[in-house]
């Protein structure tokens, strides 16, 4: 075919990802994670992540090319996450992408990590509906976005005012003694628990909060409520019902996420909800969104779990959309911008 072959590089956090797509067809998605190196610190250590990216970059590139059955020379464009993310980690990917673009004489596209979490869904479910509402929930972000064009027209409607949803999962997992990153462990534990066992608070849902923060999220109060509840239990000498705490906490997060996403969809008159980012891998979030959206006639799109967490395919997907949309490439002095909006 004559659709462009696009290579995408992702290094914004602890995953070194290299993805290769042709048009909207996924050819390779190689990911090397440094998560084990961070586990004993209970969170991602920026310096450790940067070094791991440096070591993993070339092997991951090789693996992606091998899987896709292409040579670097065949690639038509190089896309890379230029932000937001950890500055040192981003720099490794940006430097690698610039080097490739320069050496191969191919255009370079700096892409926004959050838009890439949205764009990746096209690899699985085809072109994005215009407009669609995106609920983006990861370890670093929790936002509601109105997406008319993922290559440029993305309007934020709301975001977390404190912790990201994934951060809340990780912190609560930690206080329950579960390993980092905690999201998948809470997801698994919760299946054996009762989600109505404990009534944890739903952040920014009081009538007063809704006036100013209708589409914003807050998870730090929830995290504190879980910590207090667990402490009280420990003090009383009774065992902590970990599965019930996990299920009730998870329910509080998912309830607010889905409630606000559907409220935003209704307010914007949008019938398509896309959920992306690492927390979109959560089984309860997927089920609850599916149930409640169906009840109000909203269609839900969620990429498969492996494409929800950070990867290179999402960057390649957005790069491919930028090529298709005729967006101008970035210059070779593209900066890594850790606080890209
Ligand atoms: O998108 P991502 O891979 O990296 C960031 O850009 O942050 O998201 C990572 C986050 C972590 O906080 C992790 O605990 C969470 O996604 N996560 C989950 C699940 N899988 C990953 N949270 C809840 N349930 C899951 N199944
Ligand atoms: Zn991410």
Measured CA to CA, the distance from residue 210 to residue 330 in angstroms comes to 40
Mean pLDDT score, 131-155: 96
Residue list, ligand 1 pocket, CB within 6 Å: 13, 138-140, 166, 169-170, 181-184, 187, 277-279, 281-282, 309-310
Nearest atom of ligand 1 to the alpha carbon of 140: 7
Return the residue whose CA atom lies nearest to atom 8 of ligand 1: 278
Mean pLDDT score, 133-142: 95
Please tell me the predicted confidence (pLDDT) of residue 39: 83
Mean pLDDT score, 273-298: 97
- 113 is annotated as contributing to ligand binding: yes
Asked if residues 176 and 245 have their Cβ atoms less than 8 Å apart, the reply is: yes
pLDDT of 10 > 80? The answer is yes
Is-same-fold flag (5-120+311-324; 129-303)?
A: yes
Give the pTM: 0.95
Instruction: Domain ranges for the chain, please list them.
Output: 5-120+311-324, 129-303
What does pLDDT average to over the chain? 96
pLDDT of 221 > 70? The answer is yes
Mean pLDDT score, 28-44: 90
- 74 is annotated as contributing to ligand binding: no
> What backbone torsions phi and psi does residue 172 show, to the nearest 5 degrees?
-65, -40
Please tell me the predicted confidence (pLDDT) of residue 41: 85
For ligand 2, the distance from its centroid to the CA atom of residue 253, given in whole angstroms, is 18
- 194 is annotated as contributing to ligand binding: no
Rounded to the nearest 10°, the torsion over CA 152, 135, 126, 28 is 90
| Domain 129-303 falls under CATH 3.30.420.40 | yes
Mean pLDDT score, 312-319: 98
Burial of 4 (0-12, 13-18, 19+ CB in 10 A): middle
Mean pLDDT score, 301-319: 97
pLDDT of 310 > 70? The answer is yes
| Strand, coil or helix: 43 | coil
Nearest ligand to the C-alpha atom of residue 35 = 1
Mean pLDDT score, 144-154: 97
Mean pLDDT score, 138-148: 95
Q: Which CATH class is domain 5-120+311-324?
A: alpha beta
pLDDT of 1 > 80? The answer is no
Kindly report, residue by residue over 74-90, the tens digit of the pLDDT.
999 999 999 999 999 99
Mean pLDDT score, 36-50: 88
Measured CA to CA, the distance from residue 200 to residue 249 in angstroms comes to 7
Mean pLDDT score, 294-298: 98
For ligand 2, the distance from its centroid to the CA atom of residue 229, given in whole angstroms, is 30
Return the residue whose CA atom lies nearest to atom 14 of ligand 1: 183
For ligand 2, the distance from its centroid to the CA atom of residue 136, given in whole angstroms, is 9
Measured CA to CA, the distance from residue 259 to residue 262 in angstroms comes to 5
Mean pLDDT score, 253-275: 98
Q: Which residue, chain included where needed, has tokens 């990153």? A: 181
Measured CA to CA, the distance from residue 137 to residue 276 in angstroms comes to 6
DSSP 3: S
Kindly report, residue by residue over 152-173, the tens digit of the pLDDT.
999 999 999 999 999 999 999 9
For ligand 2, the distance from its centroid to the CA atom of residue 140, given in whole angstroms, is 7
Mean pLDDT score, 228-249: 97
For ligand 2, the distance from its centroid to the CA atom of residue 38, given in whole angstroms, is 17
Measured CA to CA, the distance from residue 271 to residue 259 in angstroms comes to 15
Share of the chain above pLDDT 70, in %: 100
- 152 is annotated as contributing to ligand binding: no
- 166 is annotated as contributing to ligand binding: no
Asked if residues 8 and 312 have their Cβ atoms less than 8 Å apart, the reply is: yes
pLDDT of 321 > 80? The answer is yes
């Amino acid at each position: 075919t004559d659709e462009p072959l696009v290579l995408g590089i992702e290094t914004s956090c602890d995953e070194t990802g290299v993805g290769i797509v042709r048009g909207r067809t996924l050819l390779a998605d190689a990911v090397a994670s440094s998560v084990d190196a961070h586990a004993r610190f209970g969170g991602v250590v920026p310096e450790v992540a940067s070094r791991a990216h440096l070591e993993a970059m070339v092997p991951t590139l090789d693996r992606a090319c091998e899987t896709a059955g292409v040579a670097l020379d065949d690639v038509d464009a190089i896309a890379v996450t230029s932000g937001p993310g950890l500055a040192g980690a981003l720099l490794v990917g940006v430097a690698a992408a610039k080097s490739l673009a320069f050496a191969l004489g191919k255009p370079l596209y700096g892409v926004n990590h959050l838009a890439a979490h949205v764009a990746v869904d096209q690899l699985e479910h085809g072109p994005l509906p215009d407009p669609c509402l995106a609920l983006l929930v990861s370890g670093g972000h929790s936002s509601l976005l109105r997406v008319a064009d993922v290559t440029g027209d993305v309007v934020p409607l709301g975001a977390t005012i404190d912790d990201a949803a994934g951060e809340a999962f990780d912190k609560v997992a930690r206080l329950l003694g579960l390993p980092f990153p905690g999201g998948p462990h809470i997801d698994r534990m919760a299946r054996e628990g009762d989600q109505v066992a404990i009534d944890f608070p739903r952040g920014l849902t009081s009538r007063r909060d809704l006036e100013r923060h209708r589409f914003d999220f807050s998870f730090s109060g929830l995290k504190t409520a879980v910590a207090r509840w667990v402490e009280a239990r420990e003090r009383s000498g009774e065992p902590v019902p970990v599965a019930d705490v996990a299920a009730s906490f998870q329910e509080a997060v998912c309830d607010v996420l889905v409630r606000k996403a559907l409220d935003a969809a209704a307010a914007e008159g949008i019938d398509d909800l896309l959920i992306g980012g690492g927390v979109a891998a959560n089984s309860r979030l997927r089920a609850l969104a599916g149930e409640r959206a169906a009840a109000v006639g909203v269609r839900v799109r969620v990429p498969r779990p492996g494409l929800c967490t950070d990867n290179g395919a999402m960057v390649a997907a957005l790069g491919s959309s930028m090529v298709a949309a005729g967006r101008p490439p970035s210059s070779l002095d593209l900066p890594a911008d850790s606080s890209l909006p």
